[in-house]
Copies of this chain bind each other. A is one copy, B any other.
Amino acid sequence: MHTLGEIATYIDAKLIGDASIEINSLASSANAQKNQLTYISKRKYRTDLLTSKASAVILDQDLVNDCPTNALVVDNVHLAFAKISHYFKQQSTHLNGIHTSAVINSNNIANNCTIAENVVIGQNCRIASGTVIEANVVIGNNANIQANVTILQGTTIGNNAVISAGSVIGSEGFGNALDDQGHWYSIAHLGNVVIGDDVNIGANTVIDRGTLEDTQIQNGVHLDNLVHIAHNVILGEHAAIAAGVTVGGSAVLGKYCQIGGGTVIASHMHLDDGTIVTGSSTVDKHLSKGHYTGFTSISPHSDWKRSQLWLLKLDKIISHLNIKLKHLKGS
């Protein structure tokens, strides 16, 4: 718990309002409640600002007059948010063995695991050697967690989970603010990862925690190896994602989506329920239900080279042909 005055000092903001009110956490502008702090970085979110229930808002001079509550005025809102996020981040402190506060209802746990404060593990779980489970993780029944897995603080996992060797669940998202010298300032991600029942996760796959809300892996999702799931992503029930797929931040996949191996899904894309994407595609558009593809089909190297040259000068060639045609018509 910090007063707004302390926070203003920490991020070097001009405080307009009550310095003594207490802030206990950060939240998005849409979800923030009493005693929470939010931020508005762009004029287009002005409506969110007007209706926000947050006790205070970080914003710039441009939006001060629209602020219905306490304001922290700064030049670079995103950077101020990045700084204050670290103020609210709590690090798992336990480093060795099984913490006395952990509640473990299974016998099949390797000695060589680290299980931290307040972890709860259900019945009939198997946790192999080298696995590290940080504070406040909750795991349901019948989990099969293989070797050298890392599950970071606050992750929730339902029943019947399979988590393959080397995977990392709950890593920091890749959200960074730029300061005025072009230096990156990482955002401490305060959301968690929430995983439903009957989820399978492949080897060396990584799932990042959310920025303020949670990254969601819903019931029945199957992920293959070396998959990247970025912060704030929502994977709908029974989605299947093959190996080597990169899912960008805040992407939302509906239920029953099938994504082929090596595909890249850009940040913020939405895929409707039942969308199928061929492997190795680049999803650079929102997709409604259907089957989509986007890559260059392989061909002999010399053919490929020629076709790429044609591709880039296509507009010139076509316009040239059209001019020729006009001339002929006119002749």
Contact = CB atoms under 8 A, between A and B. Distances in A.
B202 A171 contact: yes
A44 interface: no
B222 A246 contact: no
Nearest to A310: B314
A10 interface: no
Given A126-B91, A222-B186, A243-B174, A296 B298 contact: no
Interface in A303-331: 303-308, 310-312, 314-315, 317-318, 321-322, 324-325, 328-329
B292 A295 contact: no
| Interface-centre pick from A128, A148, A184, A203 (highest chain B CB count, 10 A) | A203
26 contacts: A96-B112, A129-B132, A132-B147, A148-B166, A152-B165, A165-B171, A166-B168, A171-B203, A174-B242, A182-B256, A183-B198, A184-B220, A184-B238, A186-B222, A204-B204, A261-B267, A264-B280, A282-B295, A292-B298, A292-B300, A294-B296, A296-B311, A317-B318, A318-B321, A325-B325, A325-B328
A101 interface: no
Copies of this protein in the assembly total: 3
B307 A315 contact: yes
A42 interface: no
Contacts of A202: 171-172, 174, 206
A240 interface: yes
A285 interface: yes
Given A168-B166, A246-B244, A296 B282 contact: yes
Given A171-B164, A186-B222, A298-B284, A230 B243 contact: yes
A174 to B, nearest CB: 4
A196 to B, nearest CB: 12
